[in-house]
Structure 1
């Protein structure tokens, strides 16, 4: 059964170790017959969460940036792959910012296979 796989490459460097491993994961998933999309987070405009909590009532963030499209794709995917280098014992800031912005619809991110690639 083919699955929809979304790879979120959180490295600030295209072609860096995390991104390289994303490409290897993508190749294997495609060879297994899955539909795969990779998003290079650093290429996207994702603003910080403002903690205004408007989204608690609307389930939409008031900010108009690339996160709306990314979150839609995350919800549609069967498999999520999150890749990040480890800086100071934590994920990269770009990845944390993206994860914070899932707040409006985080309860819809369930029943998925989830993989981490950490370098």
Structure 2
């Protein structure tokens, strides 16, 4: 049964994330998104934060087909599932996004252009 309230869109873009370890050190990871929605994401990564952990997530959306604008979003997210490597070799984790902070070249983007 599907419990998502929003449709996730297949989108493979670079993601970097940080979280606080058990000894209060800042840990860093990077990966590629499998899918993304305004409320959640799945990230392929060999470095997975623990379930229930809070991460700082940053995703960079590069311009398409000669476009000029790069959009970066930063958000806080909670890890809800971790999947370890299977026969296909995929490893990653799912998050619920707390809110999006969008920037475009250091400015908040306008979507009415």
- TM-score range for the pair, normalised by the shorter chain length: under 0.3
> Per residue, is there more helix in 1 or in 2?
1
TM-score for the superposition, normalised by structure 1: 0.24
TM-score for the superposition, normalised by structure 2: 0.25
> Per residue, is there more strand in 1 or in 2?
2
